[in-house]
Amino acid sequence: MSKKASLRFSILRGFVAILISLFIASILIFISAEGGSFGEKLSSTGEALVYLIVRPILNGKGAFSVKSLTDILACMIPTIFTGLATCVMFSANQFNLGAEGGIMLGAFVSALVAIYVPMGTGIHMVVAVLAGAVSVAVMMLIPGILKAKLDVSEMVCSLMLNYVVMYAIKFMMNTYFADKTKGQVQSLPFEKTALVPQLINNGSKLTWGFILALIFVALTALFMYRTRWGYAIRMIGINRDFAKYSGMKVAAIIVASQVIGGVLAGLGGGVEMLGRNEFYSWSALPGYGWTGITIACIAGNNPILVPLAAFFIAYLDKGCNLMATYCGIPAQLIDIIQAVIFLFFAAEQFLSGYRQKLVVRSAQQELREKEGQK
Amino acid sequence: MSNVLSSILSAEFFFSIIRITSPILFATLGAVIVEKAGISNIGLEGIMMISALFGSLCAYWSSSWFVGLLAAMIVGVIVALIMSVFAFQLKTDIILVGIAINMIGSGGTIFLVKSITNMTEGEALSSTTSLITSELQIPTVQIPLIQNIPVIGPIISGHSLLTYLAFLLVFLTWVLLYKTSLGLNLRSVGENPNAASSVGVSVTRVRYTAMALSGLMAGLGGAFMSMSYAMGWSLNMVAGRGFIALAAQAMGSGEPFGAMLATIVFGFAQAFGIKLSSIGLDSNLSSPIPYIITIIGLVVFAIVKRKRDAKRVAAVGAKQRKEK
């Protein structure tokens, strides 16, 4: 099958997957919709679906609004980073699920630097975010090295680390860094010099972090497809034995892929924390890591497609929140929609029959063309 | 320090180890069975969450703990079968399927509980703790005679029915794996699916069966969580037990009894953590203990395994030299 036809097939396949998940979502919405009779329920389901699908980029009056769009773009910042992190790690077949704890650790360390290490404007922010990234890189060394040296499951190890990181941060917040004058557990305010500047000042919290995220999309794509290390990472994912026998340092590359994933997740945590907040107050894992996994799956582990996938998920997420506010449908519907989309995108044999038909048809066409030439 | 020691060496502490071990043990057995068939089911965590929810809800609706327990088991099997369809029919990476199920288990369950209770109770609840009364809990069993034995009695007697079932299932799992034809097929599929299929074993059917059994186990674990360990279902209540089970499976080198011992180690770690926080340690310091122990356990197991393998290779080498 030609490249073009194969691309067309992937788009169609994705489209069908999304339709199926929206269909399942509408069934769930219907079940939980308000209304006594069947007709009433149906109409309130329709109303809810409008909120889910159309309203996210509109304002209250139903016209297109820049503010709504920038809201969605702002939500993409952390998930682009975790999506990229997952892309790199999963490309090497390293099912490291530590981006969740990683983004929390990155946010926490960046926050500490932003509060306690005074520096000049500009440089302060850079140092704070980098400190967060480095700390997560160190955290990811643990599952990375254990996997490379001892063949310990990086998945179980990173999952356990997520819990350890969360409790450690909660402990440190409660005992050392809490602002005792406040009712809830929160840190002292960040120094103004450390804040990530806003891109548009309309309250959306769309910061320069968004531009930075896009830059990292390009950098990650270049790294994965244009460098020796990126090639090695992908090759290990495709065939580890082949990589080994062709002389690649498999252990080092396994560690590297997870550390790079850690750096990306850490950057996301720092940029999100210093862009959206004025003090640190996360007391639970934020969930961006799991969203990142869905995004990487939709993007087929291709960094270039990550922003698109992140936009899609952020759009649906906002839609679910609107539904929760206006139609009383629990906002956690997003988790089920995400999981269903994720499943169908990951299903290799999904629509394989149709794909087979396409392959056969294009082969027949080629044969006919050849005979025509004769 | 002596204070800590004396409270640890109490019968009540050992009782709590057994209690805490049981839900993990169910999931561990589930992991043991599927791993024998060559499948990694990382969705155990999610299955436990989902079946814990439906177990407690069905117990409430039917006013019977038994119906709840049954529902939890059935839901566990259904979820595992849905996973199997994606994994074996649609050729999805089983790890990705597991991740998806865990997503539903963490966030999706809260959607389900809110919309279901909204329909049946008239208001959206975010947990089922207010619905479950002590009559709907899985009953505890006082074993006659044994309960009167000093020291041992209060440790072994008085547990939930499911706790005894969990330890009984360790033995039954061993019987299933090593004394039945299904177990033989299961192991052969795990060892070499092509060889198994060449002698007429239906690989797909065996894999489905293994997944269904692991779903059943996780369902029991979920039922234990919401109907015995705690009163009702609440968000994130399984808290990584499904993942700890995977680690226990690995540390027990995939055998039912070995995995049981590993699970007891985790049960001890958690009971120890709870004890420490009850005598004044910050709970944020004691809660991560089981997770840290899991990582350490995996590392120790990996080192031991490596040494054992090295020894075996060396022994084989020496034997070959001798024969020459």
Q: What is the pLDDT of residues A24-35, one digit of tens each?
A: 988 888 887 776
Q: Do B100 and A343 touch (CB under 8 A)?
A: yes
Q: What is the CA radius of gyration of chain A?
A: 23
Q: How many domains does chain B have?
A: 1
A177 touches chain B (CB under 8 A): no
- Chain B (171-210) residues lying within 8 Å, Cβ to Cβ, of chain A: none
B147: tokens are 């309960």
DSSP state of B140: B
ipTM score of complex: 0.86
Please report whether residue B132 resides in a domain: yes
Same domain assignment for residues A29 and A158: no
Q: Please provide the DSSP assignment of B14-81 as one string.
A: HHHHHHHHHHHHHHHHHHHHHHHTT---TTHHHHHHHHHHHHHHHHHHHT-HHHHHHHHHHHHHHHHH
Measured between beta carbons, the chain B residues lying within 8 angstroms of A146 are 295, 298-299, 302
Do A92 and A253 meet the contact criterion of CB atoms below 8 Å apart?
yes
CB neighbours of residue B68 within 10 Å: 26
Please determine, for residue B134, whether its predicted confidence score (pLDDT) is greater than 80.
no
Query: For residues A291 and A310, what is the distance between their CA atoms, to the nearest angstrom?
Result: 9
Query: For residues B278 and B276, what is the distance between their CA atoms, to the nearest angstrom?
Result: 5
Q: Mean pLDDT for chain B?
A: 87
Angle CA(A120)–CA(A123)–CA(A129) in degrees, nearest 5? 125
Measured between beta carbons, the chain B residues lying within 8 angstroms of A335 are 103-104, 106-108, 110-111
Please report whether residue A324 resides in a domain: no
Categorize the per-residue pLDDT at B68 as very low, low, confident or very high, splitting at 50, 70 and 90. very high
Same domain assignment for residues A306 and A361: no
Mutate to test the interface with B, among A100, A160, A341 (most CBs of B within 10 A): A160
Give mean pLDDT, residues B87-106.
90
The confidence score (pLDDT) of residue A371 equals 84
Measured CA to CA in angstroms, residue B251 lies from A13, B31, B147 at distances of 41, 12, 33
The confidence score (pLDDT) of residue A271 equals 94
Same domain assignment for residues A145 and A279: yes
Query: For residues A7 and B129, what is the distance between their CA atoms, to the nearest angstrom?
Result: 50
SS3 B240: coil
Do B236 and B154 meet the contact criterion of CB atoms below 8 Å apart?
no
* Torsion, Cα of B217, B223, B225, B227 (10° steps): -160
**How confident is the model over A220-256, as pLDDT tens digits?**
999 999 999 999 999 999 988 898 898 889 999 999 9
Q: What percent of chain A has pLDDT over 90?
A: 47
Measured CA to CA in angstroms, residue A117 lies from A110, A112, A136, A279 at distances of 10, 8, 19, 15
Same domain assignment for residues A103 and A171: yes
Please report whether residue A319 resides in a domain: no
Same domain assignment for residues A274 and A334: no
DSSP state of A305: G
- φ, ψ of residue B140 to 5 degrees: the values are -95, 160
Please report whether residue B131 resides in a domain: yes
**How confident is the model over A162-177, as pLDDT tens digits?**
999 999 999 999 888 8
Same domain assignment for residues A77 and A185: yes
Please determine, for residue A365, whether its predicted confidence score (pLDDT) is greater than 80.
yes
The confidence score (pLDDT) of residue B165 equals 92
**How confident is the model over B273-290, as pLDDT tens digits?**
888 888 878 888 888 998
**How confident is the model over A29-75, as pLDDT tens digits?**
888 777 667 788 888 888 888 888 888 888 777 778 888 899 999 99
Q: Do B103 and A332 touch (CB under 8 A)?
A: no
A150 touches chain B (CB under 8 A): yes
Q: Give the domain-ending residue among A263, A290, A314.
A: A314
The confidence score (pLDDT) of residue B1 equals 54
SS3 B160: strand
CATH number at residue A163: 1.10.3470.10
Please report whether residue B313 resides in a domain: no
Do B120 and B126 meet the contact criterion of CB atoms below 8 Å apart?
no
Categorize the per-residue pLDDT at B3 as very low, low, confident or very high, splitting at 50, 70 and 90. low
Same domain assignment for residues A186 and A124: yes
Which alpha helices (H) appear in A152-227, and where do they start and end? 154-172, 209-226
Please determine, for residue A3, whether its predicted confidence score (pLDDT) is greater than 90.
no
The confidence score (pLDDT) of residue A135 equals 96
Query: For residues A129 and B37, what is the distance between their CA atoms, to the nearest angstrom?
Result: 45
Query: For residues B41 and B34, what is the distance between their CA atoms, to the nearest angstrom?
Result: 7
Strand-pair partners of A198: A207
Give the domain range for residue A93: 69-314
Please determine, for residue B324, whether its predicted confidence score (pLDDT) is greater than 70.
no
Please determine, for residue B5, whether its predicted confidence score (pLDDT) is greater than 90.
no
Residues with Cβ within 8 Å of residue A367, at least 6 apart in sequence: none
Please report whether residue A323 resides in a domain: no
Mutate to test the interface with A, among B103, B110, B234, B301 (most CBs of A within 10 A): B103
A351 touches chain B (CB under 8 A): no
CB nearest to B250's CB, from A153, A167, A168 = A153
Measured between beta carbons, the chain B residues lying within 8 angstroms of A159 are 240, 243
Q: Do B100 and A150 touch (CB under 8 A)?
A: no
A96: tokens are 């490291």
Please determine, for residue B110, whether its predicted confidence score (pLDDT) is greater than 60.
yes
Residues with Cβ within 8 Å of residue A54, at least 6 apart in sequence: none
Location of structure tokens 């090759």: A235
Categorize the per-residue pLDDT at B31 as very low, low, confident or very high, splitting at 50, 70 and 90. very high
Please report whether residue B245 resides in a domain: no
Angle CA(B15)–CA(B21)–CA(B23) in degrees, nearest 5? 125
Same domain assignment for residues A150 and A2: no
Please report whether residue A355 resides in a domain: yes
Please report whether residue B144 resides in a domain: no
Please determine, for residue A367, whether its predicted confidence score (pLDDT) is greater than 70.
yes
Q: At what angle do helices B94-103 and A333-346 cross, to 10 degrees?
A: 170
Among B114, B118, B108, B141, residue whose Cα is nearest residue B127:
B114
Same domain assignment for residues A139 and A260: yes
Q: Determine the residue of chain A that is closest to B82 in CA distance.
A: A343
Give mean pLDDT, residues A203-228.
93
The confidence score (pLDDT) of residue B50 equals 95
Same domain assignment for residues A280 and A347: no
Helix, strand, coil percentages (3-state) for chain A, rounded to 5, are: 75, 0, 25
Same domain assignment for residues A131 and A19: no
Same domain assignment for residues A158 and A197: yes
Query: For residues A302 and A87, what is the distance between their CA atoms, to the nearest angstrom?
Result: 7
**How confident is the model over A320-360, as pLDDT tens digits?**
888 888 888 888 888 888 888 888 888 877 887 888 888 88
CB nearest to B243's CB, from A160, A297, A333 = A160
Do A158 and A251 meet the contact criterion of CB atoms below 8 Å apart?
no
Residues with Cβ within 8 Å of residue A18, at least 6 apart in sequence: A341
Q: How many domains does chain A have?
A: 2
The confidence score (pLDDT) of residue A12 equals 87
The confidence score (pLDDT) of residue B133 equals 78
Q: Mean pLDDT for chain A?
A: 89
Produce one character per residue of B187-200: b if its CB has 16 or more CB atoms within 10 Å, e if not: bbbbeebeebeeee
Give mean pLDDT, residues B182-210.
91
Do B113 and B127 meet the contact criterion of CB atoms below 8 Å apart?
yes
Please report whether residue B27 resides in a domain: yes
CB neighbours of residue B205 within 10 Å: 12
- φ, ψ of residue A97 to 5 degrees: the values are -105, 25
CB nearest to B110's CB, from A168, A332, A348 = A332
Do A107 and A282 meet the contact criterion of CB atoms below 8 Å apart?
yes
Categorize the per-residue pLDDT at A131 as very low, low, confident or very high, splitting at 50, 70 and 90. very high
Please determine, for residue A214, whether its predicted confidence score (pLDDT) is greater than 90.
yes
B140: tokens are 């505890």
pTM across the whole model: 0.90
Please determine, for residue A293, whether its predicted confidence score (pLDDT) is greater than 80.
yes
Do A338 and B111 meet the contact criterion of CB atoms below 8 Å apart?
no
The confidence score (pLDDT) of residue B7 equals 67
Please determine, for residue B244, whether its predicted confidence score (pLDDT) is greater than 80.
yes
Query: For residues A285 and A105, what is the distance between their CA atoms, to the nearest angstrom?
Result: 10
Do A291 and A82 meet the contact criterion of CB atoms below 8 Å apart?
yes
Give the domain range for residue B195: 2-138+153-240
Specify whether the backbone of A189 is left (phi greater than 0), alpha (psi in -120 to 50) or beta.
beta
